[in-house]
Structure 1
Amino acid sequence: MLQILRHKAGSIVVKVLFVLLILSFAIWGVGDIFRNRGQTDTVATVGDQTIPLQQVDAQFRNVAQAQRIPLAVAQQFGLVQQVLDSQISSLLYAQFARDLGYVVPQDVVADAVRVDPRFKDPATNQFSRDIFLQALQGSGLNEAGFIASQRSQMAQQQVLRALFVGAEPPKALVDPITRYRRETRVAETITLRNADQTRVPQPTAADLEAYHKDHGDKFQSPEYRTLSVVILNADDFGKGAAVSEDEARTYYEKNQANYEKPELRKFDQVIAPTKELAAQIVAAVRGGKPVQQAVDEAGNASVTLVPVDFTAKANMPVAALAEPGFALQQGQATDPVQSPFGWHVLVLTGTQAARTVPFEEARPEIETALRQSKAADALYETANKFEDALADGVAIDKAAQEFGFTVTTVPAVAKDGSTQSGTPLAVLPGQAQILTTAFGLQQGDASPMTAIDNKISVIVRVESILPPTTEPLAKVRDEVAAAWTEQKQAEATATLATDIEKRLQAGEAAVDVAKAVGGQYAETQPLLRDASNAGALPAPLVRDLFTAKVGGTATAETPGGRVVARLTRIDPAKPDATAEAAVSQDLRRSLAGDIGAGLDQVLRDRYGVSIDQSVLARLKYEE
């Protein structure tokens, strides 16, 4: 990952991907940049818009943490500047989208939010405003900020799609690149296992002491953190919340469609393996026989009776049964209807007429929903004030006392839940999520409110960080001995591999050499240059084979051993339409990137971009 950051920082494709990534984090992983907690320094100006330092810091942290790169390392390799460049590109493309007329209507954004599965109630599969608000609070956003980010992202995606259409590479470029990529090579290999090197002596006390001293980083305790956790239950905020009759009636009237109940019907359903048997059942029922008797008299164990309970027409288990089933009168049977399960016959056994649920009947459910909504709103508002207090430097215990929250103190704990003392950690709701959140924060930082489920949310603060330390030799003696032995076995394997290479270069048969040294002989399939079909063979070995001549050798380390190879055959590429299409697609992206690089500079010149590097330099991250 660090190599990618170092070498690909200037790629327009990477910039575009970062734009989309930053937008994603703007929605899901940072504090709400629209909520003013005091004056923020401006690090960049794009046209008439500004980017505050707080926004760069928050999004940098999230990108680095998502990629599991330490903050100081990520800053060293230029991720801060890349995040800022991506934010600038985001504003440039947004302005360009507006100039081109790509304006996303409010109702389109609203529709996208309503169908987003993240905001649906699992019980009803319908949009839930409570879940929506909890998700926003957990991400540190308000509703206006979320909608604005959604609209901006949708508009920019339209611009990006238009940008990358029409760039087509010439065939004169596609053909030689395809031939280069699809050339294959075959080699015979000898695989060695470190564990087979049994002549390694037992380590002495001096060996163990020296190895422990030189490789202390291998025997470290985990990082521990002490935490303060505030656990919030939405039910606590709903206690005493009153819902007036006017509020309930207004909700009822605005959601009238939810209280229109369709006609429901229930059936006796017979499923037969053949149309003839199904027709026999129909004739028997229409002749006045009960359904069960008709099934029994069919004389076939594959004929089954599967009742269908009260069901709406739109929810019939087999769609083809809906029309005939809802055309029946009480006691009537349908003609046979075929489905992948067999031949069906329905007999109507009950009907519930369509109706409108009256207000008084719906009122208890409505009042419960409104109380839950009020609780979520109260939780959202109070948590915002609590987070503001923490941001203003108020101690977490004092802020918690002011708002009536309870603070749970978590002793020094590792990310896997083990404690420094060895005492089991008291169970916390959403413990794994709490620890993941905590280990993404800096010392003294508090997380935004994070939803654990539909009712429980938490705010996590890191009080102290205890860095890993080298365990004493007495505690890890067995581990040190095993590591020392593994190193000596690996060294013996490397020496043996060098000897095998010399024997293969001298022309000895590889199968005989493998037998003599206790290695495993094999012949590879035709290998591709990118090692995509190399299986367990190391990519560096394949790379070396593609620089060798027939008869040349190469060796590489594998997990737990080494492999030695001798090149036996080189096969030119064969015509391959699929490979040509893949190369064409890669070149198309590269050409689109060149076009995008030009557009990026044009937009910067058109709208104007200025960066205050002295403000950006205030961001400093410790190891």
Structure 2
Amino acid sequence: MLAGIRNFSKSIFAKIIFSVLALSFVGWGLNASMLDLGTSRQVAEIGNQSITPVELDRAFQRSVQNMRNVFGPNFNQQQAVQMGLLNNTVQSLVSQKIMREDARDKGIGISDEKVRDAIFASDNFKDPATKQFSRDRFMQSLYAAGYTEQEFIDGVRGDLMSQQIVGSLTGTAAVPEVMAQQIVAYRNEQRSGSFFTLNRTEFDDIATPDDATLRKYHEDNAQQFTAPETRDVTLATLSSADLVSTISVTDEEVLESYNQRIAEFQTQEKRTVQQILFAPNEEQTAKDAYKRLQEGADFMDVAKEAGMDSSVVNLGEFTANDILPDLRDATFALPEGGVSEPVETALGWHILRVPSITAAKTQSLDDVRDTVVDGLKQFKAEDAIYDLSVTFDEELGAGTPIKDAAREVGAKTYDLSGVVRGEGLAGETIDGSDEINAKIFELEGGEESLLEETANGLRYVLRVNKITPSALRPFEDVRDEVVTAWTTDERQRLMLAKAEELANDINNTGADIATTAANDGAEVKQSGLTKRDGNGLNDGVSPSVAAALFSLEDGKAKALQTSENVIIVKLDDIKAAKTDTADAAPVTDELKQAINQDILAQYLDYLNEEISVSINNSVINGLYAPAAAN
């Protein structure tokens, strides 16, 4: 299906906030041809539209905040970038813009009345008691998600425009009833059977064949007895970690380093914040509520009277950098338990309360001395390793043998024998061994590498002294291994042959499976009533038993090999699935969704050719360079 080409999901407005009515597409692929905006300072240009840095940042910060609701308040921007959330935000914005561009090209417009109706129809904005639209809930929801009212309205309008196109493309998709019913019958059919595991004891004593047979097995299975290519290597490594123990630091250096890193050891003041939010035209109502609070009314009672439940009132814990800037001064001027006078923002009138305060804290030098000393030694070691690396490189460039050059700078040396591709460094535990192993197999015999550096900063140089090609090991050297392998294969062959004989006996003579099992010293077990995917199998029953049952005719048996065991399985019962309308409805919906996604994927491919999309990575990197670099 073409659905694999693009992944579609609900609009950023619907998915991240409250499932309004929108649909947009976030699987837009950004290929190399799109990444060129010259000297433009926009994040992206899509046809006649653009994504500004401010627009991207607001959307990204909303995404980060929503992730904090999942992972907790310590989830930060750096983690979001590492998880790909920034890229997803860019893709989501591009996807919305390109659909809206197409809608505008087709002359599609959405009236203010339709936007209003869409917002008013959302259950998320309705008062639970009256079931009517509540502006308080609407504004509080936008505030919690980081939207201004105009941003949200524009977003809904754009998504409704896109829906006009989506609906025209997918509204006529239909699934034949007979197709859905056939799929239901296939998926929901259930089967049960009996099985037993063949007794292995009679195959324990298998005579070892003559050498002629073993030699032929050795040749026929050459790959199993072939030694991989190996390499003998001289390796020298230079690491700052090896120098740390030799580095000394003074008290003055420790104090200076502590002062330079003081921000790392400071915890900002945090405040738990509650609020009651009133609409922009309700200043007097807010003042009346504040007066009641001053007279001793309970904050939560007043909030409930204003139509706000606790989940909306309790905003969480904030530092001064985290809270909405318009509320920062009022929040951080309050004492613990204090309540603010009404504060006006673009969202309306806020009454704030600070139930608790976690004071700022700075760890003393004594508390973090070990951390500071370790960091300082590491820094000095890194500084020293650079100078040593230059000397090392100069020695090597002058033709000095690796071991002699290593001795000059105190590098470690290793003589590695029998290094195998992809299998480390012949038992030596060295940082970056996988990278060094890959470098070893880039070189020819007698060739020496340049001074290289692993991802973790280990400097190294190596020389491939000898290459031993891959070759079939002589029979005499591996005779015992050949005997073991031949015996294992022969046991499996004999067991499978007997199992097939027993299964044929059941099929041809109607032999009872329980009697057959008893004669073999085994016990019959029941599979359980299972579907094709193994759902319904009894505990401990291999999924391969389910597969076998669905390959058999009723009452028939077959031999089945599972790992080292051989099983005889007999189909006892078939329970056909119901295929009425109710059973087929979920399948019909699934098929219709798949058809719609195929249609939309093809249409987006078409738009990709018709509407230009340019992404400016330099602007994106400039916005988030500190987070991306950490």
Shorter-chain TM-score: which interval?
A: 0.3 to 0.5
Greater C-alpha Rg: 2
Give the TM-score normalised by structure 2.
0.46
Give the TM-score normalised by structure 1.
0.47
